[in-house]
Structure 1
Amino acid sequence: MPASTAFRVMLRMVIKPGMGADFERVWLDVGDSVVTHPANLGQWLSRSDEETEDGASVYYIVSDWVSEPAFREFETSDRHLTHRQKLHPYRSGGSMVTMRVIAYLDRGL
């Protein structure tokens, strides 16, 4: 599927102070519940250089999906609820933005 048709979800997650390493470990442990979904095209975890006033870490999770309806189906599934429950103890806040990828430039490597 061309990248220009992907539906992208970007989560900003604020992780409680001192819990970043544990969050990263659990995220990797439960990541299969997302990337093995047939509609998922891939997922990335990034830690920002940003830190909140109370010392919390900020992470961004980006995932691409074949379509918005396919993502919304996953978002309301038991599979996603279980995934979220395992990550919830580490979070102190967050937000979600959705978008459509309109172009992708490949280096050709």
Structure 2
Amino acid sequence: MPVFRVMLRMRIKPGMEREFERAWLQIGDSVTSHPANIGQWLSRSAEEDGVYYIVSDWVDEPRFREFETSDRHLNHRKKLHPYRSDGSMVTMHVVAHLPGVASPESHEDWEAAR
């Protein structure tokens, strides 16, 4: 299945990181409830303080672009904007996916057996 992926890089104002994480979780369904959204992930950089990445997958680019200009998206952005000091967006087409065998549970089992 072709997937259109969007990756946002956001720098959050110092001291507002936990509030940003809570806000993102509270309003995330405004994205994930869209019929063209496959899912989204929030990640905190392991290398840069205050930097987060939001990755969202969509069924195709036209449906994402439709969402991007919707009132739903504008309201979502307004709620996160107070936490941001800057940000950027990259879009891409997923061309291949190779699933791994690991899961958090299997890794815990492997660690326990060592």
Residue correspondence of structure 1 range 6-17 to structure 2 within 5 A: 6-17=3-14
Residue correspondence of structure 1 range 87-102 to structure 2 within 5 A: 87-102=80-95
Amino acid at match of 2:18: A
Q: Alignment RMSD, CA only?
A: 1.2
Instruction: Indicate which of 23, 27, 42 corresponds to 1:26.
Output: 23
Which one has a larger percent strand, Structure 1 or Structure 2? 1
Deviation at 1:107, TM superposition (A): 2.9
User: TM-score, normalised on structure 2?
Assistant: 0.86
Instruction: Indicate which of 50, 75, 78 corresponds to 2:68.
Output: 75
For residues 84-104 of structure 1, what are the alpha-carbon distances to aligned partners after superposition, in whole Å with 9 as ceiling and x for unaligned? 000000000000000000000
Residue 103 (structure 1) aligns with? 96
Q: Bigger relative contact order, structure 1 or 2, given CA contacts below 8 A and separation 6+? A: 1
Which one has a larger percent helix, Structure 1 or Structure 2? 2
Structure 1: unaligned runs, 5 residues or longer: none
- Partner of 2:5, secondary structure, is strand
| Structure 1: 4+ residue segments shifted above 6 A | none
User: TM-score, normalised on structure 1?
Assistant: 0.90
Identical pairs, percent:
73
CA distance in 1, matches of 2:64, 2:47: 28
